[in-house]
Amino acid sequence: MITNDNEKCRKVPKIFLCDSCDYKTSQKSHYVKHLQTDKHKFGTNDNKMITNDNKSAESAESAEFVTDKQPKHDLFRDNPLSFTCCCGHAYKFNSGLSRHKLKCSQFLHKEASNNTDKELILSLIKENSELKTMMLDTQAKVLGVLENGTHNTNCNNKTFNLQFFLNDTCKDAMNIMDFVNNLQLQLSDLEKMGEIGYVNGLSNIILKNLKDMDVASRPIHCTDAKREILYVKDEDKWDKEANGNPKMRTAIKHIAHKNTKLLNDFKDKHPNYKDSSSKISDVYNKLMIESMGGKGDNDLEKENKIIKKIIKEVILEKDI
């Protein structure tokens, strides 16, 4: 009978483990064969065979098989690696590199740093864009203020120059009604109206007398022909004409009335005006119609046309 002391202990098989490839076997020959595979060679550079007694296979048995302790330069020379990590590890396939990056502390630190840099760059770009927008808004406001200030200055200068011109240069100008009362109309004015009509005839009478006057003596000035802005002197003071040009319309009516009185001079000059068979009678009838406003009943429209004709001739120069 064999006792326990003499009983041979049962051998525990060694386990050959490759951590890099997650490969293990109890057969040494299988492990050696694994070390020669491309998968193992390109997946790691310096892995060592580990047994279950935590001893390196390079010890006593290292002479019996080839280990994976090859020089790195030989591996790179014979098997060029295309995928390299920032830590220096190189792999033939991208999948191997991807698996490595999941646990490579150097790569993870660099990736975190890159993400921080990207976020910083994006933040700077956003701030720069906001700053640019703010600067453009500020520039637009400043330009608006400057333009408005220039406009106001020009307007103030123009207003000052106009007031100085009217109240100083034109201080001795004639009042509008004095101009009307001093008009010396002639029979030729009435006869001309018969030829060219009421609007043109009355406009000619007014403009002829205005042109005979010095500019500073005139009772009417226009500062803006487009907007028909008139300044009229009345009762010894200059005022901007109100909407509807009431002072101008009053003057036109008075001049038209004075012109009508010339019909008596025509009668005295042509006693046969009553003879319906004579040409003088036809002329008289036409003069009477035109002097009283001509054909049509729209007196307001006729006055507007006369005012427009006057405005064109009394516009002040811009450099007053």
Question: Where does the pLDDT of residue 155 fall: very low under 50, low under 70, confident under 90, or very high at 90 and above?
Answer: low
Is residue 238 located within the same domain as residue 113? no
**Radius of gyration of the CA atoms of the chain, in A:** 57
Assess if residue 233 is contained within a domain. Answer: yes
What is the model's pTM? 0.52
Is residue 192 located within the same domain as residue 309? yes
Q: 41 near 79, Cβ under 8 Å?
A: yes
Q: Which residue has the higher pLDDT, 35 or 202?
A: 202
Domain end, chosen from 34, 64, 79, is at: 79
Domain count, the chain: 3
Domain span including residue 280 = 176-313
> Is 124 exposed, middle or buried, given 0-12, 13-18 or 19+ CB atoms closer than 10 A?
exposed
| Spatial CA neighbour of 110 closest among 88, 136, 80, 132 | 88
Task: For CA atoms 147, 152, 157, 163, give the dihedral sign.
Answer: positive
Assess if residue 65 is contained within a domain. Answer: yes
Assess if residue 238 is contained within a domain. Answer: yes
Is residue 155 located within the same domain as residue 186? no
Domain end, chosen from 120, 153, 169, is at: 169
Is residue 161 located within the same domain as residue 185? no
Per-residue pLDDT reduced to its tens digit, 113-145 = 666 667 778 888 888 888 888 888 887 777 766
Domain end, chosen from 137, 169, 201, is at: 169
Is residue 286 located within the same domain as residue 242? yes
pLDDT at position 189, please? 94
Is residue 189 located within the same domain as residue 141? no
Assess if residue 84 is contained within a domain. Answer: no
